Chain A
Amino acid sequence: MYVAVKGGEKAIKSSLKLLENKRKETGTKSIEINQIKEQLSFAVDRVINEGSLYDKDLSALAIKQSQGDLVEAIFLLRAYRTTLERYAYSTAIDTSKIIIKRRISASFKDIPGGQILGPTFDYSHRLLDFSLMKEDEINSYENINNQEPKNKEFPSVIDYLNNENLLEQEINNLKDNPFDVTRDPMKFPASRDQWMQILARGDEGFLLGLSYSAIRGFGSKGTHPFVGEIKYGIVDIFISPDELGFEICIGSIEISECQMIDQFEGNKNTPPQFTRGYGLTFGYNERKSMAISIVDRALKSEGYGEEIKFPIQDHEFVLYHADNVEAQGFVTHLKLPHYVDFQGELNLIRKLRNEILQGKKL
């Protein structure tokens, strides 16, 4: 237990000053928010997801303020989020109407619209580029081609399997008010709307580790999932304000989506078929959207009547430990003064030892 302490104001003030000084030890140029947004875009996108607030400017600011400690930046964004009045809920995003930046399938080679690599590290050699050590100016890219493209449509790849009923169908229960972790208490077993929200704001490292455990054999079937489709691009966001009485577009955001296909051996009611895991994130966050899709499938295990044996299938284990703001809060609270608490433990151990060393039993 933590017991409150008083005092130390001067030391704290000085400590905050030291922290600020750490950012400017040798007086290098201050990084501009736009530089962070463009040149550290993956960090920015991670922070908007786990901070659960799509605002790339504020994300970049949080990264600057936290001096690159992304978990701290996520904490800052979460704290800011709680100060905002919520105006509306969007119409659910239609990911089939996407302005595509990347789209691949590892299951089907020839897909309408084609496989589009987009900006990816996948085929880079992972060699340090020493030229960046002394890069002076960044010349903006100016090869504009705004002709009408031959194709703008990218139909969902997994619909192929749907045609033969080989793939599990999404069931529409038409729930009006999906679970909202910012307002509703956690409940178990969790519903899928609950876990999908928590996974979207969950720690990327934790989810990546969990999904890795599943495909190494600590998962529902221990089998190899297939990427049905991965997409990254821009989608419009719509709301229907009461005062207008019709739906309007309020701008657009970047998203990453992953459709994962997994086996299912079937049961009394259902013949063998493919099941699906789904991952959706803000921004360009392909690795995390893949991890979410694997965790999503594992959390569905109970619904398929599969045996629950591994951490990734356990709703409480996954959902209570995925949030890095909560996790870091609890782990790092241990460094706060526990003097009274520890004194108690100390007395107890001394007493026990004395009793044993003097040959006395309680």
Chain B
Amino acid sequence: MSKIQRKDWISILSKTETIDLKNCIENINYTKDYKIIYGPNVGSIMIRGRLGGNGDPYNLGEATLTKCVIKLEEGVIGYSYHLGRDKIRAEYAAVLDALMQDNNYYSKLQSMILDLKDKINKKENHIINESNSSKVDFFTLVRGDG
């Protein structure tokens, strides 16, 4: 199994629900203290679109964003940035980001993170399959006798 890149696990954590993040931490019995360095705090992010869909960036509007930074006893720092205002979720995600950077915890968490990824994929597949159920073929009728 190839190693999960940090970028990828952060992405997975950002789309995972609070309860699943909590379960991951509980499943590896991580009970040590960690220090909160920042937050969890709710702020905003300006979301950008592209002019015409593929031109220059422009400011579309903001979204709420929760940021959290924690430090494990082992000294590793974990970050999380999540759309929305769920502070508990952001804190769990920051802890998991730190744990994943530690080789010892990584080996325990790896398969759980991959399961979370699978869960996200399945959810996305479900949405696409639902959409595809309403795929149509329009017939163009020729006018007149033609």
Q: Which residues of A pack against B, CB within 8 Å?
A: 48-49, 52-55, 57-58, 81, 84-93, 95, 99-103, 109, 114-118, 144-152, 156, 170-175, 178-182, 192-193, 196-197, 200-201, 233-234, 236-237, 239, 241, 243-244, 246-253, 257, 259, 276, 278, 280, 282
Contacts and interface: CB of A to CB of B under 8 A. Distances in A.
A196 B49 contact: yes
28 contacts: A48-B61, A52-B61, A84-B42, A86-B45, A88-B65, A90-B48, A92-B49, A100-B128, A101-B127, A101-B131, A115-B136, A115-B138, A116-B136, A148-B125, A149-B132, A156-B53, A182-B62, A192-B51, A197-B59, A201-B61, A233-B131, A246-B6, A248-B14, A250-B83, A252-B15, A253-B83, A278-B53, A282-B61
Given A54-B83, A84-B64, A146-B126, 12 more contacts: A49-B61, A87-B67, A87-B81, A89-B45, A89-B48, A92-B49, A147-B125, A197-B59, A200-B60, A253-B63, A278-B53, A282-B60
B63 A117 contact: no
B54 interface: yes
Contact of B52 (A54, A102, A117, A278): A278
B47 A55 contact: no
B50 A250 contact: no
A282 B41 CA distance: 23
B45 A178 contact: no
A156 B100 CA distance: 38
B46 A90 contact: yes
B130 interface: yes
A196 B65 CA distance: 23
Contacts of A145: 125-126, 129-130
B41 to A, nearest CB: 8
Given A54-B63, A84-B64, A171 B55 contact: yes
A118 B131 contact: yes
The 7 tightest CB contacts between A and B, nearest first, are A170-B55, A251-B83, A54-B63, A146-B122, A249-B11, A193-B58, A170-B52
A272 B133 CA distance: 40
B14 A146 contact: no
Contacts of B64: 53-55, 58, 84
Interface residues on B, range: 35 or more
A52 B135 CA distance: 32
